[in-house]
Structure 1
Amino acid sequence: MPFDKSSEQWIPWNKGKLVGQKAPLKPQQVWAIRIRLQLADKKRDLALFNLAIDSKLRGCDLLSLRVSDLRMGAEIRSRAKIIQSKTGNAVQFEVTKQTRDAIEDWCAEKPLNHHDWLFPSRKDLARHLSTRQYGRLVEGWIRSIGLPRSSYATHSMRRTKATLIYRKTGNLRAVQLLLGHTKIDSTVRYLGVEVEDALALAESIEL
């Protein structure tokens, strides 16, 4: 907390800032970003963006993936399983065809070997992309389609597909498994389910 000498008071770190959960992307926003990355021929960013949406992984787990986590022989897996660094629990995720194609293109361009980081640092190939750099990339994607960066961040990538699945099915248990939460309460809070449901009900009532 910084100290303001003129007023002799401590200034809250979040003064004047919007804080709280970051919003998930809507399907049309996902496609808008995806198309821009395709047109710009940004193979790494397209593979990273698609995999972030599909996997619903935290940034630290997404960035620590190796090619071997997704590749079996000559093909990219349609499903993968990793151990989460935060909980130590296993979580599985699907890899859609467009994501598999994007990863193939990225691995061929680099080129990346079986045991390489899937998203290596450009400065040091022995390290993977940092969470700070990932945050800057997400900020750029968000800004490219005119969304306010204060409302979106890396967790928007994690929440996007999970939120859509819940809205389509109402199945909290399925979303809990996909996010790797140990408690259903964590999933409820993470998705903001009670707030979203309450607002949806309010919006459906006309007076």
Structure 2
Amino acid sequence: MTDSAFATDAFVQAQIAGWMRELGSVKRLAPKTLEAYGRDLGQFMSFLAGHMGGSISLQSLRELRAADIRAFMAQRREESLSSRSLARVLSALKSFFAFLEREGVLATEAFNALRTPKIPRSLPKALSVVEARQAIVATDELEDKPWVAARDMAVISLCYGAGLRIGEALALTKGDLEAEVMRVTGKGGRVRMVPLIAPVRQAIEQYLQLSPYKLWPEDPLFRGEKGGVLSPRLIQKRMVQLRSALGLPPSATPHALRHSFATHLLAKGGDLRAIQELLGHASLSTTQIYTAVDSERLLESYIMAHPRNM
């Protein structure tokens, strides 16, 4: 039961259900994003029911003003919601009302006067090339069971050597692997083909040779010690061990290895569009943040090395 179920009448509930179906089946939002959007809209409807003094109907939505939306956003900010989360909330609300307009149910100008909350710019924390390589090699030294060490090394190799998210790596099946490429299912169910460079392929082959579990093409590639699907928490714990053993910064996480993959490719002259495809970003603007990372690293090197700075 969503937050909006008791705050809206049957007609509005049906519209919300239709919107959620479209987000899931047509726009193919990731399950967690879909859940967050539904929760955001539910909280908005509950707020409006209290704000307007009754169950929300189509007429209530017709009477919606920018001031009502601002009041809701102000309440959420008072609940210590971050600017990034507030931006997602506003995106969810706009998406729902855009759906109503496409369906010919309702058109509103209430959102036209609203600005999206400014999101503080945070640059990805990439490891150096040496640190990334050390993290992969040292995995073998932290685990007594050879097959578990090989498994963790293969997963970490996929994060750095192929730019995979940890969830994407753990969602791979044996059938997703081909001779030189692999089929990766990313956010929103988008599928991309990612090259398997030799060191990554060798790490996976080593794991498969040592694994005690026989895998069929449709089986998850990476297994826990009891045979179940490998939990991302175990790889995160492995990275904590590596940080301690190698003196890596707290930012050294599985996702930081993905950032390192993109940053190092760009530093070597990699094409931004190609990096976008490899990472599975829907928008080039998401990938462009790495140009700022590379520029920042270049500036640091310049300041440290230029004779006039000595």
TM range (shorter): 0.7 to 0.9
Change (3 A) 1:134 1:22: farther
Distance 2:204 2:300 in 1: 42
Distance 1:160 1:204 in 2: 20
Q: Which has the higher helix share?
A: 2
**Matching residue of 1:7:** none
**Matching residue of 2:247:** 146
Q: Which runs of 5+ in 1 are unaligned?
A: 1-9, 15-19
2:169 corresponds to which letter in structure 1? L
Q: Which runs of 5+ in 2 are unaligned?
A: 1-77, 83-121
Deviations 1:50-96 (A, max 9, x none): 122222111111111111211x5xxxx22112221x23222221222
Distance 2:202 2:230 in 1: 21
Write out aligned runs for 1:105-124 (5 A): 105-110=206-211, 111-114=213-216, 115-123=218-226
Deviation at 1:171, TM superposition (A): 2.3
Deviation at 1:176, TM superposition (A): 0.9
**Matching residue of 1:23:** 125
**Matching residue of 1:17:** none
Deviation at 1:147, TM superposition (A): 0.8
Q: Secondary structure at the match of 2:159?
A: helix
Q: Does 1:156 align with 2:246?
A: no
Deviation at 1:101, TM superposition (A): 2.0
Deviations 1:100-144 (A, max 9, x none): 222122112223312332112234x3x422222222122222332
2:220 corresponds to which letter in structure 1? W
Change (3 A) 1:104 1:170: closer
**Matching residue of 2:159:** 52
Q: Secondary structure at the match of 1:87?
A: helix
Contact 1:78 1:95 in 2 (8 A): yes
Distance 1:98 1:165 in 2: 16
Give the 4+ runs in structure 1 shifted more than 6 A.
none
The TM-score with structure 1 as length reference comes to 0.74
Distance 1:195 1:31 in 2: 20
Change (3 A) 1:36 1:202: closer
1:134 corresponds to which letter in structure 2? I
Deviations 1:148-187 (A, max 9, x none): 22x2222112112211111111521121111111111111
Write out aligned runs for 1:171-186 (5 A): 171-186=271-286
The TM-score with structure 2 as length reference comes to 0.52
Q: Which has the higher strand share?
A: 1
Distance 2:167 2:206 in 1: 23
Change (3 A) 1:159 1:203: closer
**Equivalent residue in structure 2 for 1:102, among 203, 208, 212:** 203
Superposed CA RMSD: 2.9
Q: Does 1:197 align with 2:295?
A: yes
Identity of aligned residues (%): 25
1:174 corresponds to which letter in structure 2? A
Write out aligned runs for 1:57-72 (5 A): 57-70=164-177, 72=178
**Matching residue of 1:92:** 193
Deviation at 1:201, TM superposition (A): 4.1
